[in-house]
Amino acid sequence: MKAMILDGIKDLSTDKRPLKLAEIPLPAPDKGEVLIRVSTCGVCHTELDEIEGRTPPDHFPMILGHQVVGYVEALGPGAGLHRVGDRVGVGWIFNSCGKCRFCQSGMENLCAEFQATGRDAPGGYAEFMTVPENSAYPIPPGISDFEAAPLLCAGAIGYRSLRLSQLEEGQHLGLTGFGASAHLVLKTVQYLYKHVRVYVFTRSPSEQAFARELGADWAGDIDDRSPVPLDRIIDTTPVWRPVVEALRNLAPGGRLVINAIRKEQSDIAYLLNLDYPTHLWLEKEIKSVANVTRNDVSQFIQIAASVPIKPEYQLYALEEANQALLELKRGQIRGAKVLHILKKSV
């Protein structure tokens, strides 16, 4: 089968082709696993973190990709949750121990043995992949393979961030950054709440215009002051500066949720600007998001299908994965980026 392979940590400022197209053997599903013929795979900023070593793969070579939509091709021994031909999706959670207190309470995202798709096990930048059957989720009808892919991470992690924010009706919500995840948070808020106003902060004028086009009440630069103090803010950026600026806009008793696996260190000096009375006093809270649970993914897919919440996306061939990643690195974003792998009507 064809796959785009990462063979080591790369510097994307100098290496414009970090992934190599390779022909590798077809994987076989192990006990309790399914083999999936991959149709589409979303491109996520976390892949940049894997490539550049901020959250490096468990081993090399590795096949990246954790927003996967495909069709069950074969069942491993003992697998019975899905049937051959079923359309399923795979997100960031590949596996966990299943025995610890976190797994037993539905918080497997905090399991010490958490395994991530495309980082700790081969992912969806390939024609086929295997995954534990309970980490493959049925995709409801009404959403195309292209639309479903970003829902599995950008959508699911945005949904978890929204839940952790404890947003209430009538409050003001800020979104810092406006890529794949944030634009789906906006769409989700518009469905789940009737009286929440949304304020978007992003450096890109085109992303500001995109946010207003999708219904944001206001959009401005990262450094801008919000028109009103914000009760909740969800940060989806890869750097520190927006976090400090967001705290300045947070209302007393407000909560900032940081939706990121890692933060780049390029602007860590900006944290020296943190001023306790300005940024943290008056019982402001900061909460991080760690991975997603299986329940987050399955719940959000059902919500997205029922609305429906359909992401904006740009399509690329498997062989164009490097181009999509470099555009993501440069901030050339409008919605989500999706690899089209299985060439059939979807």
d(CA 166, CA 297): 18
Is residue 40 within 8 Å of 123, Cβ to Cβ?
Answer: no
Mutual angle of helices 180-192 and 205-213, in 10-degree steps: 20
The predicted structure's pLDDT at residue 344: 58
DSSP 115: E
Neighbours of 5 (CB within 10 A): 18
d(CA 179, CA 43): 11
d(CA 25, CA 111): 31
d(CA 184, CA 159): 8
Is residue 7 within 8 Å of 20, Cβ to Cβ?
Answer: yes
DSSP 52: H
Pick from 123, 139, 120: which is nearest to 43 by CA?
A: 123
d(CA 266, CA 48): 14
DSSP 54: S
DSSP 274: -
Length of the chain measured in residues: 346
Q: Which domains does the chain have, with CATH numbers?
A: 2-138+312-340 (3.90.180.10), 156-288 (3.40.50.720)
For the chain, report the end-to-end CA distance as a whole number of angstroms: 20
Dihedral pair phi/psi, residue 341, rounded to 5°? -110, -50
d(CA 155, CA 259): 12
DSSP 297: H
Which residues, listed in sequence order, are joined to residue 24 by a DSSP beta bridge? none
Mapped to the 3 state alphabet, what secondary structure does 161-220 carry?
A: HHHHHCCCCCCEEEEECCCHHHHHHHHHHHHHCCCCEEEEECCCHHHHHHHHHCCCCEEE
d(CA 65, CA 39): 12
Q: Is the pTM of this model over 0.95?
A: no
d(CA 248, CA 240): 13
Pick from 235, 267, 270, 269: which is nearest to 250 by CA?
A: 235
Compute mean pLDDT per 10 residues along the chain, 346 residues long, and list them: 97 94 97 98 96 95 98 98 98 97 97 98 98 97 95 95 97 95 94 96 95 97 97 95 95 96 85 90 96 95 92 95 95 90 66
Dihedral pair phi/psi, residue 133, rounded to 5°? -60, -30
Is residue 99 within 8 Å of 78, Cβ to Cβ?
Answer: no
One-letter amino acid at 293 equals T
